[in-house]
Structure 1
Amino acid sequence: MEELVVLVNPQDNVLGLMEKQQAHINGVLHRAFSVFLFNEKGEMLLQQRADEKYHSPLKWTNAVCSHPRNGETYLEAANRRLKEELGIETELSEKFHFIYKADVGGGLWEHELDHVFVGNFNAEFNLNKNEVAAVRYISLEDLDRELAENPDNFTEWFKIILAEYKHHF
């Protein structure tokens, strides 16, 4: 099934739909969401992207990030992808949104109006191996150290979104 993204202007007014990979080639602004999950120790969940992903394979990133479908709210999409990728459900709250553009290599761009959600989760995962190679929790201090020492191990958008998250909290 062809996956479409919702093209928007900076005010989040819908401009149309475009096939996902084409939107990433063209670098056009589209709707997206990112989910940060934390455990009871305050550690952040990282997801390692599956090897089959068409960009940024095996790189570490936040718990879930994707695109709402046409007619789907940002929260509905975030909950759908939690279930599809990690096999879980948890309460999420939207914290902020912003626009960013990142070169993800291979002639592809992420140019997204990104709504960032936060939640807590302390149980088992049922990973979709087509989407996720591995998950792990990490303290923010250890994450900062890993990002400084091995920035290429992480997705470009995660670095941007994490910096924006820290700016807000």
Structure 2
Amino acid sequence: MEEENVILVNEADEPIGLMPKMEAHEKALLHRAFSVFVMNDKGETMLQQRAKDKYHSPLLWTNTCCSHQRNGESNIEAGKRRLMEEMGFSTELKELFSFIYKAPFDNGLTEHEYDHVMIGSFNSAPNINPKEVADWKWMHPEDIKKDISKNPDHYTAWFKIIFERFYEHLMKNIPS
């Protein structure tokens, strides 16, 4: 299978080229990515546990899904594609915000991403792809925040960064 390319971007999220995903992670180059958070009507967030054979962060908990946009693909199209590939369902997505983060890993790779964070709604069980996902669960954002403080090594590096911003967004936008 041909390695997927990522879209290299500048700090204004303007495309400046394409590069194989592993090379971009080895060189810690800024590239476009997305993170999807799916919530249910009870206000819970769907988390996934990464499959044990993932090349980094295996068996760690993270947001519903995340990946990289393909050349010519919108953020929403990419989020919907990956949600179906990993979690086996589709839902409408809305982009909440975007930001740049950098997260190095023990294996020498670095996530340096211009991340587009999206939200969707779903109230059923996913049909997970076992090559991508080991397990899943619903958790209230407050409980996620507490568990990240208590068990940070159970979560992916990027999720801990992104969740903090997602949680702030939720708290600012809850109707009073």
Q: SS where residue 105 of structure 1 aligns?
A: coil
Partner of 1:60: 61
Q: CA deviation at 1:17?
A: 0.8
User: Is 2:91 the counterpart of 1:97?
Assistant: no
Q: Is the 8 A contact 2:5 2:19 kept in 1?
A: yes
Partner of 1:156: 157
Q: CA–CA distance in 1 between the matches of 2:63 and 2:100?
A: 17
Q: Is the 8 A contact 1:68 1:77 kept in 2?
A: yes
Q: CA–CA distance in 2 between the matches of 1:105 and 1:40?
A: 37
Q: Which range moves more in the overlay, 140-149 or 53-62?
A: 140-149
Q: CA deviation at 1:136?
A: 0.2
Q: CA–CA distance in 2 between the matches of 1:29 and 1:75?
A: 20
- The 4+ residue runs of structure 1 with deviation greater than 2 A are 166-169
TM-score, structure 2 normalization: 0.93
Q: Is the 8 A contact 2:141 2:167 kept in 1?
A: no
Partner of 1:73: 74
Q: CA–CA distance in 2 between the matches of 1:77 and 1:104?
A: 24
Q: CA deviation at 1:168?
A: 2.6
Q: SS where residue 16 of structure 2 aligns?
A: strand
Q: CA deviation at 1:146?
A: 1.2
Partner of 1:16: 17
TM-score, structure 1 normalization: 0.97
Q: Is the 8 A contact 1:33 1:78 kept in 2?
A: yes
Corresponding letter in the other structure for 1:84: E
User: Is 2:157 the counterpart of 1:140?
Assistant: no
Task: Report the RMSD for the aligned CA atoms in angstroms.
Answer: 0.9
Q: CA–CA distance in 2 between the matches of 1:105 and 1:166?
A: 27
Q: Which range moves more in the overlay, 158-167 or 148-157?
A: 158-167
Q: CA deviation at 1:9?
A: 0.3
Q: SS where residue 112 of structure 2 aligns?
A: strand
Q: CA–CA distance in 2 between the matches of 1:13 and 1:143?
A: 33
